[in-house]
Structure 1
Amino acid sequence: MTLNGVHVPLITPFDEAGAVDLGVLEELAHQVLTAGAAGLVALGTTAEVTTLSAAERSQVVEVLTGVCGRRGAALLVGANTAEELQALAARRSVVAALCLVPPFVRPGEDGVVAYFAALAAASPVPLVVYHVPHRTGQDLSTRAVRRLAAIDAVIGIKYAPGAIDGDAVDLLTDPPQGFTVLAGTDELLAPMLALGAHGAILASAHVATAQFLALAAAFHAGQADQARRLGNQLRRLAAALFAEPNPAVIKGVLHAQGRIPNPRVRLPLLPAAATSIDAAVHHLDATTAGRYARA
């Protein structure tokens, strides 16, 4: 299985009372898929998943399973325990689970490989490793990623390094056969695609879906000059969208567009400052030629 294309890790919209707004979630899912996204991610970091109850997580997956089933789109679901993985068995739209490298404990590369081998043995669906060392505290060498790729059920990686170093170049230019590398650092999307990333999982693609798709298409078509210009614009947009803890600014922009009823986030996150939202809207308008003006 290859997970090419741009996948959007959806936010969790909340209503005025603070409950999950499932209707708005469904609308957002349809919007990004209509814009051309290859698939969705449920219960990722962008979804504020640690603040959701078990019942809310189940409701979110139910809604997005339905949307992806009707649209023929891929759905990845964040899951990090055997119990969470086994709950995906009956979800036909779920093509893989997105599993985070164990955070905080820093188990070392041998521990990470053993952990994913155990998850793979318990999982009814394939696994995509979520490697984001600035959040987990655990870095992985290319050698470790190749060991993970050798586990039968591990089909890819959301690769979100803080910088493109020698390990990143090695992995992106020479990935394991049949193993999908998805760019996961929004600001580094263009160079990661240029080096060979198969696609991406991008929170920024909530608000400029078509442009991110165009960037990926330009690289895959060998249109380097066009890709460089668009990539720089999208880099600036991504930086503005991540100027405060994710997804506060993204929610602020979606609210400014009239696509969600409010920009509410749950503690420990706080709403983004108006100046951050305005800056992101400015970059968005510059990238999309004003297509998404404020409502």
Structure 2
Amino acid sequence: MTLTGLYVPLITPFDRSGGVALDALEALAVQVLADGARGLVALGTTAEPSSLDPAEQRAVLRVVTRVCRDRHAPLVVGANTPEALRALADHPEVVAALTTVPSFVRPGEEGALAHLTRLAADSPVPLVVYDIPYRTGQYLSAATLRRLADVPGVAGLKYAPGGINADTVDLFADLPSDLAVLGGDDAFISPLLALGAHGGILASAHVATARFVRLIEAWHAGDVAEARALGGRLSLLSAALFTEPNPSVVKAVLHAQGRIPTPDVRLPLLPAHPDSASAALTAVERLPATRRG
């Protein structure tokens, strides 16, 4: 399995009673696929999974699974424990699990590698390892990420190191042929694609799906002029969408566009300030027109 292109990590919209707005979720899933996304991510961090009870999580997965099945689109599901991974065996639409490096305990690179190796061995689906050290507290070097590529059952990497650093350059200079790298730092997706990333898992792509699809296509096709121009504007959009904890601003923009019934998030998140939503909407308006390749 090769993971390429754009995957949208879906938010969980809430209705005015505070429940999950399943109809709005389905409409979002259908729309981003219609706009060119390769696949979807359900119950990733953008979905606020820790604030959903088990019944809500099952309902979300049921809706997104149905959309992917009907449209023959690959589905990745956030799952970080043996129990959560085993539950994916009942969903043939799921091509991989998005699994974070263990957080808070800071087990060291060897401990993180051993943990992920054990999860991959017991998982019914391949893992896409989510490397996001500014959230987990555990940094993984380029050498360790290459070792991950040799772990049976690890198919890819959601790479979100917080920018472009020496290990980023090192990794892409000698990228394992069987490791799909999907950028996860939205504001840096264009330079990551220029270095050789296979695609992205991007919350910002809720808002401008077709343009993020085109950005990936342009870099892969070698259309540097278009990729640079589009990438710069999309980076500004992503920066605006992440001025507050994700997905607060994304939800505010989607609500302003009439695509979800409320902009609500659940504690410990707070709703975005109106100024943040306004700035992000302005960034959307300033995006250049684009063509499909």
TM beyond 0.5: yes
In the other structure, the counterpart of 1:135 is 135
Provide the secondary structure at the position in 2 that maps to 1:129: strand
Provide the secondary structure at the position in 2 that maps to 1:87: helix
**Counterparts of 1:187 and 1:161, CA distance in 2:** 12
**Cα contact 1:132–1:159 (8 A) shared by 2:** yes
Shift of the 35–173 alpha-carbon distance from structure 1 to 2, 3 Å rule, reads: farther
What is the root-mean-square deviation in Å for CA atoms of aligned residues?
Answer: 0.8
**Cα contact 1:173–1:196 (8 A) shared by 2:** no
**Cα contact 1:172–1:181 (8 A) shared by 2:** no
**Counterparts of 1:122 and 1:152, CA distance in 2:** 11
In the other structure, the counterpart of 1:102 is 102
**Counterparts of 1:287 and 1:165, CA distance in 2:** 27
Q: Which runs of 4+ in 1 moved over 3 A?
A: none
In the other structure, the counterpart of 2:241 is 241
Unaligned runs of 5+ in 1: 290-295
In the other structure, the counterpart of 2:59 is 59
Establish whether residue 272 from structure 1 lines up as the match of residue 275 from structure 2: no
Provide the secondary structure at the position in 1 that maps to 2:225: helix
Deviation at 1:75, TM superposition (A): 0.4
* Equivalent position amino acid for 1:95 in 2: V
**Counterparts of 1:199 and 1:225, CA distance in 2:** 18
Q: Deviation string for 1:256-276 (max 9, x for gaps)?
A: 100001101000111001110
Provide the secondary structure at the position in 2 that maps to 1:89: helix
* Equivalent position amino acid for 1:179 in 2: L
**Cα contact 1:42–1:64 (8 A) shared by 2:** yes
Deviation at 1:54, TM superposition (A): 1.2
Q: State the TM-score, normalizing by the size of structure 2.
A: 0.97
**Cα contact 1:81–1:119 (8 A) shared by 2:** yes
Establish whether residue 223 from structure 1 lines up as the match of residue 223 from structure 2: yes
**Counterparts of 2:88 and 2:171, CA distance in 1:** 29
In the other structure, the counterpart of 1:188 is 188
Shift of the 255–288 alpha-carbon distance from structure 1 to 2, 3 Å rule, reads: farther
Q: Deviation string for 1:92-151 (max 9, x for gaps)?
A: 110000000001110000001110111012100000100001100100001111111111
**Counterparts of 1:288 and 1:124, CA distance in 2:** 42
**Counterparts of 1:260 and 1:117, CA distance in 2:** 39
In the other structure, the counterpart of 2:119 is 119
Provide the secondary structure at the position in 1 that maps to 2:89: coil
**Counterparts of 1:217 and 1:9, CA distance in 2:** 19
Establish whether residue 258 from structure 1 lines up as the match of residue 222 from structure 2: no
Provide the secondary structure at the position in 1 that maps to 2:194: helix
In the other structure, the counterpart of 1:292 is none
* Equivalent position amino acid for 2:57 in 1: R
Q: State the TM-score, normalizing by the size of structure 1.
A: 0.97
Provide the secondary structure at the position in 1 that maps to 2:20: coil
Equivalence map 1:166-205=2 (5 Å): 166-205=166-205
Deviation at 1:226, TM superposition (A): 1.1
In the other structure, the counterpart of 2:4 is 4
Establish whether residue 210 from structure 1 lines up as the match of residue 210 from structure 2: yes
Provide the secondary structure at the position in 1 that maps to 2:90: coil
**Cα contact 2:230–2:288 (8 A) shared by 1:** no
* Equivalent position amino acid for 1:64 in 2: V
Unaligned runs of 5+ in 2: none
In the other structure, the counterpart of 1:72 is 72
Provide the secondary structure at the position in 2 that maps to 1:95: strand
Provide the secondary structure at the position in 2 that maps to 1:155: strand
**Cα contact 2:237–2:280 (8 A) shared by 1:** yes
**Counterparts of 1:90 and 1:204, CA distance in 2:** 30
Deviation at 1:288, TM superposition (A): 5.4
Deviation at 1:82, TM superposition (A): 0.7
In the other structure, the counterpart of 2:92 is 92
In the other structure, the counterpart of 2:21 is 21
Percent identity over the alignment is 60
In the other structure, the counterpart of 1:293 is none
Provide the secondary structure at the position in 2 that maps to 1:151: coil
* Equivalent position amino acid for 1:249 in 2: V
**Counterparts of 2:158 and 2:42, CA distance in 1:** 14
* Equivalent position amino acid for 2:253 in 1: V
**Cα contact 1:117–1:151 (8 A) shared by 2:** yes
Equivalence map 1:38-57=2 (5 Å): 38-57=38-57
**Cα contact 2:10–2:203 (8 A) shared by 1:** yes
